[in-house]
Structure 1
Amino acid sequence: MPHDGCHTHVFTGQDPAFRRVLWIIILLNGGMFFFEFIAGAISGSLALQADSLDFAMDAATYGLSLAVIGMAAATRARAALMKAASLGLVAAWVLGAAVWRTLGGGVPEAITMGSIAIAAFAANLLSVLLLWKWRDGDANIRSVWLCSRNDAFGNLLVLAAAAGVFGTGTRWPDLAVAAVMSALFLQTSFLTARTALAELRGARSAAGVHGDHAGHAH
């Protein structure tokens, strides 16, 4: 596990190398959002559009991660809770859109879906490899790792959806994968929120202990 300073404890992001990597991943995710969203709209694929929104959320939340590095533990934990909430909202939108499209809609263009899914997988795999060294940090840092890991898996699902659409000539594989991606977003949201809440309780307890010590000192 990475260290901050000379003491072994949970990594909180205070490493210039980590900051540089995070900037690279923010720019990569931002670029992939525009690329994939346009491709999703052109191809008519909800799975691609869901994945593009995930890239957008990742770019925004990674920026938030970068902003709170070095701040108090409670602040970092609250930032992680904001990420968890945003992921929950994206999950709800994707699931709602999938349900709506079961009522009607055209068949997505499978070749475009597959091509973009491969490009998105490569981008997320690069992110995962760059972040591997720091995957066991606090809730704020770990959420970056979890999102990138799940996103790479989600890209493979989109690729499978493209194969399903190509093979069946229907929209159902696309909608099914969009629903699965929604579940993945919810899982990441839950894991991030659980860790963040535990860290927030720990920060409040530590603040209470310090307050008691200060009172006794007087």
Structure 2
Amino acid sequence: MSEGVSSGGPGKGEAHEHAHDGDRHHKHDDAHGDHGDHGHSHGDGHHSHAPTVSRNNERVVLIGLCLTAGFMVAEFIGGYLSGSLALIADAAHMLTDTAALGLAWASFRFGRRGSDEKRTFGYMRSEVLAGFVNALALFLLTIWIAYEAVERLMTPEPVLAGPMFIVAVLGLFVNIGVFLLLMRGDRDHVTIRGALLHVIGDLLGSVGAITAAVIIYYTDWTPIDPILSVLMSVLILRSAWALLRSAAQILMEGTPSNIEIEELRRYVLSEVADVADVAHVHVWSITSGRPAATMEISLAENGNAATAVDRVKAVLERRYDIRHATIEIRWGEQPADCPLQAPA
């Protein structure tokens, strides 16, 4: 069965040192990332982008949080006084925005903290947790709006179109400002994408509220208020589902969407002559844009154990931007793809 690189065999001590060298490279990459490295693209068609936890991201999210929280209160009051479900729904969405941006800000604060003995990858995955919570909040919001809309359609209530229009227009400008602010951050972050989705939902909500106010003012047809509230919520469900899937994939340590395990295995075999077989390949993401991998390799006849691991690591970084990889050398005649067996 499989033996680790530290067990007997020629050159195994050197291979063991190289197999763990990736941990040192990973720490160097993390430190370099804090100084603004945003990844790179490779000429073979595989583009990569490893987002960083930067102070700029933290700053834009904090400003957006303050603006959103401030106007949320005003919109709740305006919706209550005007009797508009569209405004109340939009204010409720802004409440989730406030929570989402608060989580985003907290995730960046924690994400800049270094690794320690208990959290060897640091706090980078906190941004994925924030994105997951954001998506769930969007789903819950649409359910609440649908319930309130049915209630309003069954029991219509008067709506003051003038105050509703004024508040909706102010909300539109605030949301545009927050959206442009977040666009200055790193949009490859799950957290930033989640915050942008919330703000887009608010923009749609403000447009819907303005439309409803105009229709009510000229026709007195109040059902347009709950109807538009439902429509603007449905529009964000698709984006919320995409965000939920993306965050869940990382939390479940699924293979990144741009990597196919069998294609990776064949590519390593074709690029590294010292390697005769690659097996037990596992690839996952530590956080958004930070893939990691483990695998076992069998050396070709006369393969150089001292350099094979480094060459595999170089191939993985060049092609897939995998900067943290643990490579184990399998010694002996047994095929590398045999199933593992429990000890007797």
TM-score, scaled relative to structure 1:
0.87
- Gap change, CA 1:45 and 1:194, over 3 Å in 2: same
The answer to whether the Cα contact below 8 Å between 2:152 and 2:223 also exists between their aligned partners in 1 is no
Equivalent residue, structure 2, for 1:101:
152
Shift of 1:33: 1.2
- Gap change, CA 1:214 and 1:137, over 3 Å in 2: closer
From 46, 64, 82, give the equivalent of 2:133.
Answer: 82
Equivalent residue, structure 1, for 2:51:
11
Structure 2 residue 87 is the aligned partner of structure 1 residue 48: yes
- Gap change, CA 1:74 and 1:38, over 3 Å in 2: same
The answer to whether the Cα contact below 8 Å between 1:135 and 1:145 also exists between their aligned partners in 2 is no
Shift of 1:202: 4.2
Equivalent residue, structure 1, for 2:167:
116
Q: Which has the larger share of helix?
A: 1
What secondary structure sits across from 1:209 in the alignment? strand
From 62, 67, 72, give the equivalent of 2:101.
Answer: 62
What secondary structure sits across from 1:26 in the alignment? helix
Shift of 1:73: 4.9
1:94-113 deviation per Cα after TM superposition (whole angstroms, max 9, x unaligned): 01100111111222110011
What secondary structure sits across from 1:25 in the alignment? helix
Counterpart of 1:66, as a letter, is: W
Per mean C-alpha deviation after superposition, the further-off stretch among 133-142 and 116-125 is 133-142
Distance 1:56 1:85 in 2: 14
Distance 1:127 1:176 in 2: 26
Q: Tell me, which stretches of 5 or more residues in structure 2 are unaligned?
A: 1-32, 40-48, 112-121, 257-281, 287-291, 297-324, 331-344
- Gap change, CA 1:17 and 1:209, over 3 Å in 2: closer
What secondary structure sits across from 1:205 in the alignment? strand
* Rg comparison, structure with higher value: 2
From 51, 68, 75, give the equivalent of 1:36.
Answer: 75
Equivalent residue, structure 1, for 2:241:
190
Shift of 1:19: 1.4
Aligned positions, number: 215
Counterpart of 2:80, as a letter, is: A
Shift of 1:15: 2.0
Q: Tell me, which stretches of 5 or more residues in structure 1 are unaligned?
A: none
Per mean C-alpha deviation after superposition, the further-off stretch among 89-98 and 63-72 is 63-72
Shift of 1:21: 1.4
What secondary structure sits across from 2:328 in the alignment? helix
Distance 2:56 2:126 in 1: 22
CA RMSD of aligned residues (A): 2.5
Equivalent residue, structure 1, for 2:202:
151
Q: Which has the larger share of strand?
A: 2
Counterpart of 1:205, as a letter, is: V
Distance 1:183 1:173 in 2: 15
The answer to whether the Cα contact below 8 Å between 1:73 and 1:199 also exists between their aligned partners in 2 is no
Question: Identity over the aligned pairs, expressed in percent?
Answer: 27
- Gap change, CA 1:97 and 1:131, over 3 Å in 2: same
Equivalent residue, structure 2, for 1:216:
328
TM-score, scaled relative to structure 2:
0.57
